[in-house]
A and B are shown apart, each in its own frame.
Chain A
Amino acid sequence: MTVVASEQPIRLGIIGCGAVAQVCHLKALEGLPQYEVRYLCDRNLLTAEEARRLYGLRAKVTTRVGDLAGQVDAAIVCVWPRDHVAITLELMQMGIDVLCEKPIAMSRADAATLIEKARQADRIVAVGQWYRCQTNSWILRRLLSLDFLGEIYSVEAEFGDALTWPMSSGAYFDRKFTAGGVTFDGGIHVLDLVVWLFGDLHQVTYEDDSYGGVESNGIIRGNLEVKGRQVPCHVAASWTHRLRNGIRVRGSKGQAEAPLRQPDIVILQQEVGGERLKMKITADGVAMPFRSRDPFAAQLEDFAEAVRLRRPPITPIASTLIPLGIIETAYSVRQPLPQPWVEAGLEMQCATKKS
């Protein structure tokens, strides 16, 4: 069983050394003395070597997860969602704590199985829902707990931009490797935030733009239960165009928005003296559960502490069940998203045929 002395860096392995590992985790790790990267593992050894070279690491490279046994205390898993459960299980069986990228599993049932196995193995398993580690998520949570916005009227959470993620194959869009498109990929980030702040979403309806492949736009709608009242909520995600990229809560005393790309501030709009004022709230002087302002670094910081103190991380595996369940429900009640610019031509063709 891993018990890491607090003065020693945590020996870390990274499984899957592609874009997420290189662009996000390894970059964040550069500023964290809590870790020492010992192993880089990828099914393509060249990718692991590229990551090692890029960050000037002295880590060993391998294609076999089994090589990490006894060599690392914790691992970050950045492979395709299809392989999250199997690799996390393998690492847990080797006594290794795991931070696994989101979504933790292809289905709610798989996630539930993993939760039970983690409990039995007494392993720390955190999930890469790193927007929970943004300062403004915590400010918003504080405002809500203080009823600062009064009676809540609506909640909107959006994540979207033209996809520019570097990728070398089409696996990102392949149902053999992932359970869905943008809703399952980016949408789960903001859905996780909604659930973290308000709990489960009920009466779920869903629209997306899939025509047999994976969706590039999806909108989940439903109701949150806030103080016994039903509050409408929408969660939108896009790979084709920019959305609000944040979570916006409207209440009787004002509106608060936590932008995803301005992690330090919450934008508050309130009527003051008959005028609508826009204010920026920062967390200066407020105690936060992490020191880093970069949410990736903050999550890694939290994970390190969870590993050392054997306490639950901010993003425990158990908390992924509700968002995964909502997405499963959404896909099961899917309706086509209206796209007149796509369908107009098709209707015209039908009309021509009829005439």
Chain B
Amino acid sequence: MRYQKILITGASGFIGSRLCEKLALQYKVPHRALVRNFGRAARIARLGTEMVAGDLSDQASLKGALSGCDAVVHLAFSSTPKVEEALVSACRHAAIRRFVHISSAAVHGPNPGPECAREETATIRHYGESYSDAKARAEKVVQQAIDEGLPGVILRPTIVYGPYSSFVTDVVKAAGSGTISLIDDGKGICNAVFVDDVCDAIYAALDSDAALGKALFVNADRAVSWKEFNLTFANMVQPQPSIENISAQEARMYWASTKPSFRSNVVALKRLVTSADFHDRLGTVPAFRSGITWTKAILKRILTADQVKAAQRIVNSGSREVARPEWPDPGRLVREDFHREFSNELAKQSLGWRPKYDFPAGAALTRTWLEFTRMLGPTVR
């Protein structure tokens, strides 16, 4: 490798930690980990990797972190593009020779059209979805810096999984509780790429001049369905969990109903005031209890028997809370109700890289880690 030292931002995260492992143990390249929260750095601490405390929004801290480095891999996520603005500015001043920005295929939004399958035609817009929009804004800043001369490469990994991945541990934890859910029978496309393949692509992006200035999808050779992804990990758990299906449309309607609007507030308030549980709880407050008793007595006195029954029907229509399947959170809904496969051809051509792990191989290796952490085996329940 031609660099003196590579600065890794987001080094204590899922991809960053594995990248540090590979840089230290496989590629044997000098590198420095920029760490904001040392409480998360135990995994890279075992490598003897140089760690520096730093805050990407602080210029002085960035200057210190970049000192002696001539390449940067930017993995840290931020909800504001000010971080990227500060970082690319500091990189220009430090005459950084290669900047690898880890963006995401999510920059093409939750529902990308067929033009987004390949980088040459893929478009980036505003989607009203927080993660996609944040990654899109960050990439825009970096792309502009590249256009202005920063020697950079943008990588857009798809669904990165492997040891320590929350995509995997969430499924295993749910399976351990006895039930996992699929969204629309898991028909959505899962562009699963193994974390080691992403790290190898990052390394190739540091090395390859053919990739300079480009934005590249980093994906496996073959996508799987979310059913295959989720059930592969869920079925590692014994006894195997039951599976419930959730309609993406219903889940979307549910989340739409929770957004603050006049209608959703009225619906929620009606649900609250007609809820029997709410009345029970309200009755535990002595002042309210006597108030409720008094109101009931007054109503019985002034209403007819039929009117009292009608009022009781309204109150009881709220019924008690019934156990219902947990709605997948909006982030999961976006990921799994997804119907576009991304090509990795340009990345292969530009980086001289190719993924080494198909999904079964990546899952098998992830399994060894799950067993080590005891997430699989008799202790899971």
Interface residues of A (CB under 8 A from B): 163-170, 172-173, 181-182, 209-216, 239-243, 339-342, 344-346, 348-349
Contacts and interface: CB of A to CB of B under 8 A. Distances in A.
A168 B372 CA distance: 29
Contacts of A165: 39
Interface string B286-316: 0000000000000000000000000000000
A216 B44 CA distance: 9
A216 B42 contact: yes
Contact of A241 (B48, B368, B373): B373
Interface of B: 21-22, 24-26, 35, 38-49, 51-53, 162-163, 196, 199, 356, 365-366, 368-369, 372-375
Nearest to B52: A170
A346 B45 contact: no
A248 to B, nearest CB: 12
Q: Which of A213, A241, A340 has the most CB of B within 10 A?
A: A213
Given A211-B46, A214-B46, A240-B43, A170 B163 contact: no
Given A169-B38, A173-B51, A346-B25, A341 B45 contact: no
Given A211-B25, A346-B26, 12 more contacts: A165-B39, A167-B39, A173-B41, A211-B47, A212-B46, A214-B46, A216-B42, A243-B374, A339-B372, A341-B372, A345-B196, A345-B199
B35 to A, nearest CB: 7
A340 B162 CA distance: 12
Contacts of A341: 162-163, 365-366, 368-369, 372
A168 B48 contact: no
B174 to A, nearest CB: 17
A170 B40 contact: no
A118 B326 CA distance: 60
B298 to A, nearest CB: 50
B369 A348 contact: no
A213 B40 CA distance: 15
B221 to A, nearest CB: 16
Question: Is chain A's binding surface mostly helix, strand, loop or mixed?
Answer: loop
Nearest to B356: A348
A344 B52 CA distance: 28
B45 A213 contact: yes
A234 to B, nearest CB: 14
Contacts of A173: 38, 41-42, 45, 51
Residue picked from A164, A182, A215, A345, most chain B C-beta under 10 Å: A345
Contacts of A214: 45-46
Nearest to B49: A213
A165 to B, nearest CB: 6
Nearest to B373: A241
A342 B25 contact: yes
Contact of B38 (A168, A182, A216, A342): A168
A168 B53 contact: yes
Contacts of B35: 170
A211 B21 CA distance: 9
Contacts of B52: 170
A211 B48 contact: yes
A223 to B, nearest CB: 24
Q: Which 4 interchain pairs have the tightest Cβ spacing?
A: A173-B45, A212-B48, A213-B48, A241-B373
Contacts of A239: 42
27 contacts: A164-B39, A169-B53, A170-B41, A170-B51, A170-B52, A172-B38, A173-B41, A173-B51, A211-B25, A213-B45, A214-B46, A215-B46, A216-B43, A216-B46, A239-B42, A241-B373, A241-B374, A241-B375, A242-B374, A340-B365, A340-B368, A342-B25, A344-B196, A345-B22, A345-B199, A346-B22, A346-B25
